[in-house]
Chains A and B, each alone.
With several copies, the nearest count.
Chain A
Amino acid sequence: MQLDNLYQEVILDHYKRPQNKKLSANYDAQVHHVNPSCGDEIDLNLTITDGTISNISWDGVGCSISQASVSILTDLLIGKKIDEAYSIFDHFVALMQSKGTVSGDEAVLEDAIALAGVSKYPARIKCALLGWMAFKDASVQAQSKSKLD
């Protein structure tokens, strides 16, 4: 079924067993993002230690795509250097906006490659990006905060 392209096993797994879905008590930055067209919401906490993402935790409501996407993100980015995380971020956004013309680099994106099918469903791209935009926003806040410290 065509739909299986969108809803890959990995996605449904992350949806049913989301990773790091419990807001941590401590964080460098906390953000709240909303997808106004469907009402999906996410809170995301981020900690950066010595230029490395030491923790991401989150809570939220939303569809399987938005929930799985943020769950995958946490698995993928925790432990990465911030520069490397940004490069993965750019890869992922490019994949989402590709309208299905790009297949993505699995070496870079790992499980996130499973979201490639989303790029053929324009209305769902925002779902997949919700957590990623929240992460980007939080990382900017965390870094400007660390500069102030």
Chain B
Amino acid sequence: MTFDPLVIRKDFPIFERSIRDGKRLVYLDSGATSQKPVVVIEAESNFYRNHNAAAHRGAHQLAEEATEALESAREVVANFLGGAVDEIVFTKHSTEALNLLAYSIGNSPVGNRFHLQAGDEIVVSEMEHHANLIPWQQLAKRTGAVLKWFEVTPDGRLDLSNIDGVITNRTKIVALTHQSNVLGTINPLTDLVKRTHQVGAIFILDACQSVPHMPVNVGALDIDFLVFSGHKAVGPTGVGVLWGRANLLDELPPFLFGGSMIESVTMTDATWAPAPRKFEPGVPNMAQIVGLGSALNYLTAIGMQKIHNHEIAITEYAISKLQEIQDLKIVGPVDMNLRGGAVSFTLGDIHPHDLGQFLDNSGIAVRTGHHCAWPLTRKMGVPATTRASFYLYNTLADIDVLFDGVRDAQKYFG
């Protein structure tokens, strides 16, 4: 099957609507959230129309069907990531998945391999999204652990000149993003993971911006935990994924407490079901999980490598075009070997908010601000940036519209 974004767009009903009095929607904000193909929308509504019941709770036919739908989706996710079925925990988004890890680690008693004590070290980086920064700040405060970080170079890469000085024998956790949601930088993981395991620490990957956009295999990466959000991967809102190595999920204490995650309960005490159940109390976000399964099947049918190639091509074109514009500065690497399809930039004195508003008036949706990575924008020496981010349904024509829009904005505010 050849990859044709114009054909793919037909799967996404939102492209049938127009923006600001009849303009074509040029959606360049998939880094914030992706659009949804009709199969995903219908997977969710089909579940409600035909199979809705509380999964894992009840011996009636609807409950059986709901359970089957839920567990098939778990299998899809496991296959997509190259993990085992029982290694997949469903959350509401990656933010919850990262908080789950931080709280569960905080709940680990003395003797548990995850137990943290004063002086232990947690390593993040300056390019983390707030979701992979603040939970660790707070865990450090609660436990007396020390938060350390890799710095970011002026051209927007992780400064790895001193890996062994940052990840030390005191390090217990290394939590890093796979691809920066601001800079587009894809971080090279091999040496980082190796060093992490050398010192006996665990490696947590924030794969929010990579799993939707390129083939990611947890085995090949040799990491310990991974999180991503369904809504950025053409899936529904309200569902995220935590993958963890079976033996680690086994030892990790639970996070949220309630029904269906227990083995036995008395008024004063409780014991836990095996993972993944132990991390999934309550009636699950069933329709959303089913929708996510359908989303990953959709992406797989198209092919993750093809999607990645397409995005690389678009990004390369976008960067070369944007660089033609006077006063436009790309914030992040311009070498295509180092990056994926999120491009942030500044435009002389024109504030990103004004630029974004102007582009919106032409039907172009971009994101402006600090993109939930405030320490990073500060480090890059800008108060805010404008970000265009790409996905399988974007075309080179979208880039041309962006290019014209930016130049028109310069005239308007000039």
Contacts and interface: CB of A to CB of B under 8 A. Distances in A.
B264 to A, nearest CB: 6
B361 A12 contact: no
Nearest to B57: A37
B67 interface: yes
A6 B354 CA distance: 10
B263 interface: yes
Contact of A38 (B263, B358, B370): B370
B374 interface: yes
Interface stretch (A69-77, A86-94, A104-112, A119-127): A119-127
A139 B260 CA distance: 28
A63 interface: yes
A1 B361 contact: yes
Interface string B64-95: 10011000000000000000000000000000
Given A37-B369, A39-B377, A65 B353 contact: yes
Interface residues of A, number: 24
Contact of B357 (A40, A61, A62, A124): A124
A121 B353 contact: no
Chain A interface, DSSP helix/strand/loop, else mixed: mixed
Nearest to A1: B361
Contact of B58 (A2, A3, A12, A123): A123
Nearest to A34: B264
Interface string B392-414: 00000000000000000000110
Given A3-B361, A121-B357, A39 B263 contact: no
Contact of B273 (A36, A64, A65, A121): A36
B56 interface: yes
Interface in A83-139: 121-124, 127
Contacts of A37: 56-57, 260, 369
A65 B358 CA distance: 13
A2 B20 contact: yes
B59 A121 contact: yes
B374 A39 contact: yes
Most buried by A among B57, B63, B357, B374: B357
A127 B64 CA distance: 15
A63 B68 CA distance: 22
Given A34-B263, A39-B374, A2 B59 contact: no
A62 to B, nearest CB: 7
Contacts of A39: 369-370, 374, 377, 383-384
Contacts of B377: 39
B393 to A, nearest CB: 24
Q: Which 5 A-B pairs have the closest CB atoms?
A: A63-B353, A63-B351, A38-B369, A123-B59, A3-B361
Interface of B: 20-21, 56-59, 63-64, 67-68, 260, 262-264, 273, 351-354, 357-358, 361, 368-370, 374, 377, 383-384, 412-413
12 contacts: A37-B369, A38-B353, A39-B369, A39-B374, A40-B353, A40-B383, A63-B354, A64-B354, A121-B357, A123-B59, A124-B59, A124-B357
